[in-house]
Amino acid sequence: MGRLDGKVTLITGGARGQGAEEARLFASEGATVIITDVLDEEGRACAADIPRTTYLHLDVRSEAAWEEIVAGVIRTHGRVDVLVNNAGIDLAKRFELTTLDDWERVVAVNQTGVFLGMRTVGRAMISAGTGGSIINVSSVAGMEGVRGRAAYGSTKWAVRGITKVGALEWGEHGIRVNSIHPGFIETPMTADLKAFKDPETRVRAEKVVSLRRMGQPLDIAWMALFLASDESSYCTGQEFVVDGGVHH
Ligand code: NAD
């Protein structure tokens, strides 16, 4: 028996990285998985390799697209039990060099995308009356200030904040809302960062991590599985840091 048997789960930004790993783990625990992304080729290929998994194009910045996708999932599967707001983009730039365009681009995906996902799926969960679990992917940059992450860090603090509002307002409907705060995770997002690709810098970066290694997507997927499953049924409005011991 799987921990997610019969659950309908929707993961944004699921074509690769952490989202794809969550799709694999959720499906192995019996879930029906819908991965969404803007990378159609990678998304389709990823879904084709995972049982009970389909890929749909969803740009999380679009209100109309969210309405269409959620209505379609409900038509096909009857409901949504779990939403993972995982899609995100990074921006490493000094504060004084950050342009308004930079700021708006990052906010649109990382913050507005999470708001739209929560609201659209939250409404569907409320009308279905069956509760659910919403998992928002923030960052350690949403727990503390990180140099070079004025725009990115702001969105991740915002995600942490909106998580708590959702939890407060929707607890009465049996909807749980929590955030995950990954540290340094090895994915396509971080592949070009010096801390990952330059061996000497990587050794130095790993010394900042108590467990002395970079995180892997599966480290985050296990936490997402816990929050998606009934094993976390008394957890809501909380932040779950998964960073090998960087943030203290
Ligand atoms: P990733 O780049 O591999 O995956 C992010 C996915 O989001 C990609 O598939 C991308 O196409 C998708 N995406 C981007 N813009 C989108 C849009 N407008 N609509 C829909 N999808 C879109 O990176 P990842 O490391 O797997 O990141 C997953 C989440 O984890 C992100 O929210 C990221 O900010 C967060 N995070 C990552 C790290 C890390 O070290 N990798 C650390 C902390 C937090």
Mean pLDDT of 144-157: 98
Examine residue 44 and state whether it is found in any structural domain, yes or no.
yes
State in Å: Cα 1 to ligand 1 middle: 30
Examine residue 225 and state whether it is found in any structural domain, yes or no.
yes
Examine residue 203 and state whether it is found in any structural domain, yes or no.
no
8 A C-beta contact, residue 112 and residue 97: no
Examine residue 108 and state whether it is found in any structural domain, yes or no.
yes
**What total number of domains does the chain contain?**
1
Examine residue 109 and state whether it is found in any structural domain, yes or no.
yes
Helices 113-128 and 63-77 pack at an angle, to 10 degrees, of 30
State in Å: Cα 131 to ligand 1 middle: 26
Examine residue 79 and state whether it is found in any structural domain, yes or no.
yes
Question: What range does the domain containing 28 cover?
Answer: 8-186+216-242
CATH of the domain at 165: 3.40.50.720
Q: In 3D, which of 57, 17, 18, 51 has the Cα closest to residue 35?
A: 57
Nearest residue (CA) to ligand 1, atom 17: 59
User: What pLDDT, on the 0 to 100 scale, is given for residue 109?
Assistant: 99
Examine residue 157 and state whether it is found in any structural domain, yes or no.
yes
The two structure tokens encoding residue 166 = 């959702």
The two structure tokens encoding residue 204 = 């130095």
The backbone torsions φ and ψ at residue 32, rounded to the nearest 5 degrees and listed phi first, read -90, 130
- Select which of 26, 55, 152, 184 is catalytic: 152
8 A C-beta contact, residue 10 and residue 86: no
User: What pLDDT, on the 0 to 100 scale, is given for residue 45?
Assistant: 98
Average predicted confidence (pLDDT) for the chain: 98
Q: Which of 10, 12, 18, 179 for a ligand 1 pocket mutation test, highest count of atoms within 8 Å of Cβ?
A: 18
Active site residue 55: no
8 A C-beta contact, residue 228 and residue 26: yes
User: What pLDDT, on the 0 to 100 scale, is given for residue 60?
Assistant: 99
8 A C-beta contact, residue 190 and residue 201: no
Burial (0-12, 13-18, 19+ Cβ within 10 Å), 166? buried
Type of residue at 222: W
Examine residue 2 and state whether it is found in any structural domain, yes or no.
no
- The pTM for the full model equals 0.99
pLDDT digits 0-9 by tens, 183-234: 999 999 999 999 999 999 999 999 999 999 999 999 999 999 999 999 999 9
State in Å: Cα 28 to ligand 1 middle: 22
pLDDT digits 0-9 by tens, 31-68: 999 999 999 999 999 999 999 999 999 999 999 999 99
Residue matched to tokens 């892997």: 216
- Under DSSP, is residue 64 helix (H, G, I), strand (E, B) or coil? helix
User: What pLDDT, on the 0 to 100 scale, is given for residue 192?
Assistant: 96
Reported as a pLDDT band with limits 50, 70 and 90, residue 85 is: very high
Type of residue at 148: G
Nearest residue (CA) to ligand 1, atom 12: 13
